[in-house]
Amino acid sequence: MSPVSRNHGGSVPVIDQVPAKLFGPLTVVRYLVIFATWIIFIATMPLSLFFCIKIVHEYKRLVVFRLGRLLRRKPLGPGVVLVLPCIDEHHLIDLRTMSYDVPSQEMLTKDSVTVSVDAAVYFRTCDPVATIASISDARISTRQLAQTTLRNVLGTRTLSEIMSDREGIAQQAQAVLDEGTHPWGIKVERVEVKDIRLPRELCRVLAAEAEASREADAKVVSANGELKASVALKQAADSMAESPAAIQLRYLQTLARISTAQNHTIVVPIPVDIVRAISSHFNKTH
């Protein structure tokens, strides 16, 4: 019968079956070695306690391999954990959230614009056994995967999408990262895009474009204001033309407003009708 591999405790591959002719002797040898180790441990007490007792903090877990096999199919701790000498190999795993500043990544966007992006990734260990048994160094692998994932995600977006949809980019990068690191026992909690830097030439072009757009909008607003003012002046002129006394009152109000200021020159307006009458009379006489 050939060996069969099967996962125990979620994602830890171990050899669960061995050839039948070797199963009995190997098991006996294993128990004999463990029994001899216990005898040595008890014989050397209390000196052996200083080397075999491990204190595991609340935010850490201890993964122990006894004779190459995972002990109890799960991590141990927190609290006091007894590790036998010579036959136990232990690894201490930190469960706290760690942050990683992704180095500045220069890449081409979908519309062929070169940008430089800085980001931060927050991740933690959710399965200590998989972190030890599935990959040699889960933290370094997660950091390298974060760099490549960020470049791949930003390469599918245009410049306008990158500048306006940072939250969507962060969520997409987090989903891709979490899917890739899950078999390693790593949970990606958050991805943040900190800074997006553009080339200086492109910044000047965008600034000129924005300034031209603002000037065009200002001209449109000014033209609309002139149109509304002309309509209002026409309505006021039509209203005053119906009452000659209103024109005279407006003329007196203008003189009163001018007299309140310290002016040495007062301009007296002449009605257009009078000017036209004088001009027509002058033309008739000549």
What digits encode the pLDDT tens for the residues 137-156?
Answer: 999 999 999 999 998 888 88
pLDDT for 130 equals 92
29 domain-assigned:
yes
Extract the tokens encoding 3. Answer: 């060996």
Same domain, 109 and 89: no
Same domain, 125 and 82: no
Tell me how far CA of residue 184 lies from CA of 91, 132, 187, 195, in angstroms. 15, 8, 9, 29
Residue finishing a domain among 166, 198, 230: 198
Q: What is the mean pLDDT of residues 42-69?
A: 89
Strand partners, 89: 65
Domain that holds residue 38: 23-94
Same domain, 90 and 101: no
Tell me which of 238 and 88 has the higher pLDDT.
88
Find the CATH number of the domain harbouring 167: 3.30.479.30
223 domain-assigned:
no
Q: ω before 85 within 30° of 0 (cis)?
A: no
Q: What is the mean pLDDT of residues 206-215?
A: 78
Same domain, 137 and 125: yes
pLDDT for 8 equals 42
Type and span of the H or E element at 175: helix 166-181
- Is the pLDDT at 126 greater than 90? The verdict is yes
Same domain, 64 and 156: no
Same domain, 87 and 138: no
The b-or-e profile of 245-259 (16+ CB within 10 A means b, else e) is eeeeeeeeeeeeeee
Tell me which of 240 and 35 has the higher pLDDT.
35
Tell me which of 249 and 271 has the higher pLDDT.
249
54 domain-assigned:
yes
CB atoms within 10 A of CB 66: 18
- Is the pLDDT at 16 greater than 50? The verdict is no
55-64, 201-210, 216-225, 260-269, range with the lowest pLDDT: 260-269
pLDDT band at residue 208 under the 50/70/90 scheme: confident
Same domain, 170 and 155: yes
Residue finishing a domain among 35, 65, 94: 94
Q: ω before 46 within 30° of 0 (cis)?
A: yes
pLDDT for 263 equals 62
- Is the pLDDT at 17 greater than 60? The verdict is no
pLDDT band at residue 7 under the 50/70/90 scheme: very low
Same domain, 82 and 105: no
Same domain, 79 and 109: no
Same domain, 111 and 131: yes
Residue finishing a domain among 94, 116, 142: 94
127 domain-assigned:
yes
pLDDT band at residue 268 under the 50/70/90 scheme: low
Same domain, 35 and 73: yes
**Do the Cβ atoms of 141 and 184 come closer than 8 Å?**
yes
Q: DSSP 3-state assignment of 207?
A: helix
The number of residues making up the chain comes to 286
166 domain-assigned:
yes
pLDDT for 18 equals 45
Rounded Cα–Cα distance for residues 245 and 226 (Å): 28
Q: How many domains does the chain have?
A: 2
215 domain-assigned:
no
Mean of the per-residue pLDDT values for the chain?
81
pLDDT digits (tens, 9 = 90+) for 154-168: 888 888 888 888 888
CB atoms within 10 A of CB 90: 15
Q: What is the mean pLDDT of residues 203-211?
A: 73
* Residue in 76, 176, 58, 182 with CA at minimum distance from that of residue 126: 182
- Is the pLDDT at 271 greater than 80? The verdict is no
pLDDT band at residue 286 under the 50/70/90 scheme: low
- Is the pLDDT at 29 greater than 90? The verdict is no
Q: pTM value? A: 0.63
Same domain, 128 and 46: no
The b-or-e profile of 104-134 (16+ CB within 10 A means b, else e) is ebebebeeeeebebbbebebebbbbbbbbbb
pLDDT for 24 equals 62
- Is the pLDDT at 256 greater than 50? The verdict is yes
pLDDT band at residue 46 under the 50/70/90 scheme: confident
239 domain-assigned:
no
141 domain-assigned:
yes
pLDDT for 92 equals 92
